[in-house]
Structure 1
């Protein structure tokens, strides 16, 4: 996986996910992504691609809620999509609940993404980024 930043869109998986999101004009793709993260198939061990896509999905929901993080070149494709659909779609409570559970799994020892970042000198910055998503999800 090509990774250049600790934020939710600073990797190849998230950028590919953002391209796929542009083919969607509703929240189904986001829900499907969160369902993949939380699938029983991933209960024992969440592989990095699913974790990276999950972080992108959560951040997209947060942006739809008006609680998005930093807007930059990495988030440009998502920000464009959000601008197009924000008046039509508001995240449902079940999606926000799934987002919280996905973040908990991604931050657990059962997450390959967690393991990969843990072995990096940028682990604390990555973890702080995910914890920031959790705080924004809770409305803080």
Structure 2
């Protein structure tokens, strides 16, 4: 994976995941990015691809639910994708939306804080002086998800 910044799409895997969801918008794709990592039965290693996809999916979810970051995901070019995803998300019902948000928060927690098993975190540790930027970006994303009123 190539990293060029701390944002959710500033790496090859996050950018590729977003390209996939842009081409085939589906809440299922968002959900799948969290499910394995956030499953209470999951113990062990989270590879860099899964970590980066979970981060990208969390950013998309936060924006869909009305909490965009400083650099919005859905600009005019992909506004139609956002509308498709929002419509699909609203069909989920409150309980399911809360579950997806919780899975996103849990997945981010593992990716961000499990220094033994999160390959993405390990890659950022190797980056040294810029790791605090990534931690700040991930922490802000988690807070945006925690502050949602669903």
Aligned residue for 1:67? 67
Q: Once the 2 structures are TM-superposed, how far is the Cα of residue 51 of structure 1 from its aligned partner?
A: 0.4
Task: Note the alpha carbon deviations across 1:83-114, whole angstroms, 9 max, x for none.
Answer: 44334524711100100110110012121111
Structure 1: segments with no counterpart, 5+ residues:
none
Aligned residue for 1:111? 118
In the alignment, does 2:144 pair up with 1:132? no
Aligned residue for 2:24? 24
Aligned residue for 2:11? 11
Q: Once the 2 structures are TM-superposed, how far is the Cα of residue 25 of structure 1 from its aligned partner?
A: 3.3
Aligned residue for 1:85? 85
For 1:56 and 1:25, locate their aligned partners in 2 and report how far apart those are by CA, in whole Å: 14
Which one has the bigger helix percentage?
Answer: 2
For 1:35 and 1:135, locate their aligned partners in 2 and report how far apart those are by CA, in whole Å: 20
Q: Once the 2 structures are TM-superposed, how far is the Cα of residue 15 of structure 1 from its aligned partner?
A: 1.1
Q: Once the 2 structures are TM-superposed, how far is the Cα of residue 38 of structure 1 from its aligned partner?
A: 3.1
CA RMSD of aligned residues (A): 2.4
For 1:70 and 1:84, locate their aligned partners in 2 and report how far apart those are by CA, in whole Å: 22
Corresponding pairs, count: 137
